[in-house]
Amino acid sequence: SYVLLNDQITERKNVKIDMEDRGYNFGDGIYEVIPIYNSKLFTLDEHLDRFEDSARKLEIKLPYDKNELEKLLHQLKNANKIDNGIIYVQMTRGVSPRSHLYERDSNGIITGFSREMKFPEKPKQKGIHVFVTEDIRWLRCDIKTINLLGNTMIKRNAFDKQCQEGVMHRNGNITEGSSSNIFIVKNRTLYTHPASNLILNGITRQLVIQLARKNNIQVIEEAISLQQLKGADEAFITSTTQEITPIRKTIGDVDATFQIGEITKTLQQSFNKYVEIHCK
Ligand code: PLP
């Protein structure tokens, strides 16, 4: 298969990563996962803006501009003939003798791959179980860093408890899922954590907020307490690969069950319509 290495589309076997790449030593890098529907890169602009934003926050220098990256990602998708799936793209701070102190002058190293995959239908239709637990991550969750140990530990924990996602809270305020954002519905109003340093501002999250308002559903961006989750009418998670996935049951720090309600179904339909229109 073909992959992206800096400004080249090349075969995967040609890519060699230095053992002192800062991504390898420190998890010093950023990434994006971009969906492909019907051979179109969906919400590419939003993903590239966030990529630039993460790079700026960590002072990692892009080796070329956003337009060049956009062109290369299209080339990568075409080289692998992807109809439906994802592109994964990441940038590390590059290679330097191992030291905590980073320099600002060198360019980042970009790698990327694409993968054909069908986002599974079953969880979107039947819903999932989630494990609610304490948020053990750092305080810059707004940066889409490849340093994901808090997230991976919580995901493993959730799966070990027969749940498909872990949902995290800080002192009783729900932040997000291990690889998703979370929304609840109460009295036909949508609630989700505000975009702050405590969550990743998901591209799907932002689209769902936009679609809700278009459907005259009120959206309130404020932290959801554990009690609010317990008393919610509906709950769902959002992400690039999980789209809008209903929550049927929570265990851990909240025990609750939910029906897949009207608002969730309306938003799912609205999301599918939006994809169809934008990926014709
Ligand atoms: N929050 C976290 C921690 C994530 O890892 C992700 C995506 O993987 C999301 C939220 C959802 O973001 P997006 O909708 O941009 O995929």
Q: What is the mean pLDDT of each run of 10 residues along the chain (280 residues)?
A: 98 97 98 98 98 98 98 98 98 98 96 96 98 98 98 98 98 98 98 98 98 98 98 98 98 98 98 98
| Residue 43, ligand 1, Cβ within 6 A | no
CA distance 181 to 193: 8
Q: Say if residues 41 and 111 touch (Cβ distance below 8 Å).
A: no
pLDDT at 48: 98
Q: Are residues 227 and 202 in the same domain?
A: yes
How many Å lie between the centroid of ligand 1 and the Cα of residue 240? 7
The answer on 136 and 67 residing in a single domain is: no
Q: Are residues 25 and 66 in the same domain?
A: yes
Single out the residue in 61, 94, 116 at which a domain terminates.
116
State the SS3 of 188-242.
CEEEECCCCCCCCCCHHHHHHHHHHHHCCCCEEECCEEHHHHHCCCEEEEEECCC
Q: Is 77 in the pocket of ligand 1 (CB under 6 A)?
A: no
Q: Let me know how many helices (H) and strands (E) the chain has, helices first.
A: 8, 16
Q: Please answer whether residues 203 and 43 qualify as being in contact, where contact means their C-beta atoms are separated by less than 8 angstroms.
A: yes
Shared domain for 99 and 126, answered yes or no, is no
Domain end residue (candidates: 83, 101, 116)? 116
The per-residue pLDDT for 60 is 98
**φ and ψ at 166, to 5 degrees?**
-100, 135
**Is 97 in the same domain as 27?**
yes
34 lines ligand 1 (CB under 6 A): no
Q: Is 192 in the pocket of ligand 1 (CB under 6 A)?
A: no
My answer on whether 134 and 84 are in the same domain is no
Closest CA to 28 of 123, 75, 128, 98: 98
Select from 50, 196, 239 the residue to mutate for testing ligand 1; criterion: most ligand atoms less than 8 Å from CB: 239
Q: Do both 91 and 139 map to the same domain?
A: no
Query: In terms of domains, do 151 and 94 share one?
Result: no
How many domains, in total, are found in the chain?
A: 2
Pair 40, 278: CB distance under 8 Å: yes
144 is catalytic: yes
Report the CATH number that the domain containing residue 195 is assigned in CATH: 3.20.10.10
**Containing domain of residue 241, as a range?**
122-278
Tell me: do 138 and 57 sit in the same domain.
no
Judge if ipTM > 0.95: yes
Count the helix, strand and coil residues of the chain and give each as a percent rounded to the nearest 5.
30, 35, 35
149 and 271 co-located in one domain: yes
pLDDT at 75: 98
Q: Indicate the residue among 72, 88, 116 that finishes a domain.
A: 116
The CATH number of residue 61's host domain is 3.30.470.10
Grouping H, G, I as helix, E, B as strand and the rest as coil, residue 228 is helix
The ligand 1 atom nearest the CA atom of 178 = 3
- List the residue whose alpha carbon is closest to atom 8 of ligand 1: 179
For the record, the structure tokens of 249 come out as 């049951």
Cα(49) to centroid of ligand 1, in Å?
15
Between the CA of 14 and the centroid of ligand 1 the distance, in Å, is: 30
Whether 129 and 241 map to the same domain: the answer is yes
Hey, how many other C-beta atoms are within 10 angstroms of the C-beta on 114?
A: 25
Together in a domain, 243 and 165: yes
